[in-house]
Amino acid sequence: MKLSDKFQILYYNTSMDYELFKNTIQNANKILIISHVNPDGDTLGSMSALYQVILNNFNIQKDCIDMVYNGIIPEIYKFIPYLELAQTPDMHKDKQYDLVISVDIAAKDRMGDSLPLFENIDIRMNIDHHKTNNNFGTINFVRADACSCGEVLLDIFNALKFKVDKKTACALYAAILTDTGGFRYENTTAQTLLKASELISLGANPAEICRYCYESKPRNMVLLHANCMINAEFSADNKIAGICITNKDMEKFHATNDYTEGLVEELRRIKTTEVSFVIKEVDENTSKVSLRSKNTDVSLIAQVFGGGGHTFAAGCTIRKPLNIAKDKLVEEIKKVLG
Ligand SMILES: [Mn+2]
């Protein structure tokens, strides 16, 4: 019997029906977990934790569950357990799965080359915490109140009394730590810290994980950041702070895509900054944007260009050359700032 025949309720939106989570996995024969493009600590930590919990709590063989990533796994996240087993989407295109689970993926366009895989699988579970997530799965666990996808997962695991071992705790701690910016952002709640505490009790080592995530940058990444900072542009009384990055800049520092991570937050640190952005040349007609703010809802700005995200952290892709895209973006930011 096909998994989809067992589950009559398609497009079921829930954040609390934990039994459905359990039953769906229990009845699946072959499971694929996918993470988003330009993977961060939350999507990778969540993927690793889910992989481990399924293997440790269900009667499922190792060869019946796969993990997929898009692009490059940043060096700093390679300490997350079992990521060495994750593969790129092309390795999976001929395999048959009956359940796919996306973690930390706000919208289908964040799946990159995994999208065809995702769309071809009968039961599609969407586990996420972005408020702009439109419940694109057939089963959805989307909770905008959670700081990270890792937190959504930990709540599910606890509700179902699943075993969370040391390695799983390490992956979940990395997810929560990085998505809260080291427990500094607005999404850090009493619940977040309780859960972090619980994960430390379960064996996650906070100092070690912090060292991997924040004290292990490649040298050229720091040099690229310095170069970008020197060329930062300010407007609207310094309320807007932005950086343009060309492919030439990236080549100069032998940078991989993940090297720009953290730049947009660095710009926001300036006292006068209200909205910060980094806009990156993808090709001559495509530019990729990251937005951050202190009080402004930047998900609204991202949505103007078909993107999305959180209130204070969002992103989009603009199908225009870098300089034109930047002007359009600044125009939209100014509108929102009033
Ligand atoms: Mn996240």
Work out whether the CA dihedral 248, 252, 254, 260 comes out positive or negative: negative
Residue 135 pLDDT greater than 70, yes or no: yes
Percent of the chain with pLDDT over 90: 88
Distance 6 CA to ligand 1 centre (A): 31
Q: What is the phi/psi pair of residue 292, to 5°?
A: -135, 160
Mean predicted confidence (pLDDT) in 41-62:
97
Please tell me the distance from the alpha carbon of residue 155 to that of residue 159, in angstroms, as a whole number. Answer: 6
The Cα 296–Cα 240 span in angstroms is: 11
The 3-state DSSP class for residue 287 equals strand
Residue 17: predicted pLDDT: 85
Contact 138, 10 (CB under 8 A): yes
Distance CA 330, CA 291 (A): 11
Between the CA of 46 and the centroid of ligand 1 the distance, in Å, is: 9
* CA 132 to ligand 1 center in whole angstroms: 12
Instruction: Set out the domains of the chain in order of their start, with CATH numbers.
Output: 3-214 (3.90.1640.10), 219-337 (3.10.310.30)
Amino acid at 58: F
The whole-number average pLDDT for the span 309-327 is 95
Confidence band (pLDDT; 50, 70, 90) for 4? low
Q: Are 94 and 118 in contact (CB under 8 A)?
A: no
Q: Give yes or no for a contact between 176 and 191, defined as CB atoms under 8 angstroms apart.
A: no
Q: Which two tokens stand for residue 6?
A: 């067992």
Confidence of residue 132 (pLDDT cuts 50, 70, 90): confident
Distance, CA 186 to ligand 1 centroid (Å)? 13
Q: What is the pLDDT of residue 9?
A: 38
Residue 250 CB-density burial (10 A; 0-12 exposed, 13-18 middle, 19+ buried): middle
Tell me what pLDDT residue 14 has: 56
Mean pLDDT across the chain: 93
Centre of ligand 1 from the C-alpha of residue 153, in Å: 12
Q: Give the pLDDT confidence score for residue 131 in this predicted structure.
A: 86
Give the mean model confidence (pLDDT) for residues 130-143.
Answer: 92
- 272 Cα to the center of ligand 1, angstroms: 27
Cα 128 to middle of ligand 1, angstroms: 7
Q: Give the model confidence (pLDDT) of 237-278 as tens digits.
A: 999 999 999 999 999 999 998 899 999 999 999 999 999 999
**What single string gives the DSSP state of each residue in 65-127?**
EEEE--S---GGGTTSTTGGG-B-GGGTTT---SEEEEES--SGGGSGGGHHHHHTSSEEEEE
**208 within 8 A of 195, measured Cβ to Cβ:** no
pLDDT digits (tens, 9 = 90+) for 285-298: 999 999 999 999 99
Contact 77, 174 (CB under 8 A): yes
pLDDT band at 8 (very low <50, low <70, confident <90, very high): very low
CA of 129 to the centre of ligand 1 (A): 7
Identify each DSSP E strand in the chain by its residue range: 12-14, 31-34, 65-68, 99-103, 123-128, 139-142, 233-235, 240-245, 275-283, 286-293, 308-309, 313-318
How many Å lie between the centroid of ligand 1 and the Cα of residue 179?
Answer: 6
DSSP conformation class of 291: E
* pTM of the complete model: 0.87
The pLDDT tens digits of the residues spanning 158-217 come to 999 999 999 999 999 999 999 999 999 989 999 999 999 999 999 999 999 999 999 999
| pLDDT at 28 > cutoff 50 | yes
pLDDT value of residue 93 = 81
- Mean per-residue pLDDT for 128-155? 93
When pLDDT is cut at 50, 70 and 90, the band that residue 13 belongs to is low
pLDDT at 166: 98
Alpha-carbon span 211 to 109, nearest angstrom: 32
Reference 55, options 73, 31, 20; nearest CA is: 31
